[in-house]
Amino acid sequence: MFPFTTEQKIFNINGVEIGGLPYERPIVLVSSIFYSNHAIVQDSQAGIFDEQKALELLKKEESLSTQTGVPRFIDVIGDTSEALIRYIEFITSHTDAPILVDSSSQKVRIEVIKHFMGNNLSSRLIYNSITDDFAEEELDCLKNAKIKNAIVLAFNMKAIKPERKLELLKSKLLPAATSVGIENILIDMGVVDVASISWISLAIREIKQALGYPVGCAPANALYDWKKVKEFGKKAFYASAAIVLGTIRWFGADFCLYGPIENASWVYPALASVDGLIAYGARLQGKRPISKEHPLYKIF
């Protein structure tokens, strides 16, 4: 299954391995916390939140990760540098998971990276993300802070189809990331809407074959704005969303930003099921997962 002829890169970020051939290790699921209008946030500017509820969400996801064998990263989102620093410090004190440093503001991301420069937490941080409109100040910051982990977003309005994404990566984004010392590069395909996930899935397959890097995407915003399927009710939405997330995994996605951490209860079993099927299918070729902690052995 998935006969990639290009050698697949495998990265270890704070104990979580990502990349390689799909039957070897499961997809990495990435939850979002402290996102816009998250109910547990009381002051998004200062980073004040309900710590008990946040801890409950983290522990629930941790339990699901252990039960299913599907590893996790945590996408920590902040409106200000003050808030994002507080959030990251809280998350790192309660989990061992790698953390995405995320904000819609490039300025905020830079300030947070500078804050953690030289800190022993920096090896757990994944910069999210280097985009087509990156600034030299941003690249200089990543270089000076010796950040080794980053997501590269292979998207602009001209790079919708797989071949254009590959061109953008080769000509601009990968040279930028490698020039500042990023070693563990994760490629995000960029999702426009639910329908575009079909093209994204094809792009995942093509770019893993062409470059060998871990590849994934963030279907979350598109999924939760999917108004037409929501008209059929919650159960229909969850079933449809699970199929969409499963589709990107069938095409080889190494990671998936699935959205609000509250949805872990249905996302983890769904993706564990897909990974179990992929690994079981690989048995026909005499291939096995690298660990007994794989979902194949956890849920089947």
Tens-digit pLDDT profile for residues 5-37: 999 999 999 999 999 999 999 999 999 999 999
- Strand segments, DSSP code E, in the chain are 10-13, 16-19, 28-33, 41-43, 48-49, 72-77, 99-102, 125-130, 149-153, 184-188, 215-217, 255-260
What is the reported pLDDT for 2? 60
Cis peptide leading into 196, omega within 30 of 0? no
Give Cα 280 distance to the centre of its chain: 24
Summarize the confidence of residues 181-198 as an average pLDDT. 97
pLDDT at position 257 over 90:
yes
What is the reported pLDDT for 1? 57
Assigned fold of 22-299? TIM Barrel (3.20.20)
Reference 288, options 10, 15, 25; nearest CA is: 25
CB half-sphere exposure, 118, CA atoms < 13 A: 2
What is the reported pLDDT for 113? 98
What is the reported pLDDT for 108? 98
Reference 245, options 226, 265, 217; nearest CA is: 217
Summarize the confidence of residues 271-285 as an average pLDDT. 97
What is the reported pLDDT for 6? 95
Domain ranges of the chain: 22-299
In 10 A of CB 118, how many CB atoms?
9
Tens-digit pLDDT profile for residues 203-251: 999 999 999 999 999 999 899 999 999 999 999 999 999 999 999 999 9
Tens-digit pLDDT profile for residues 279-290: 999 999 999 999
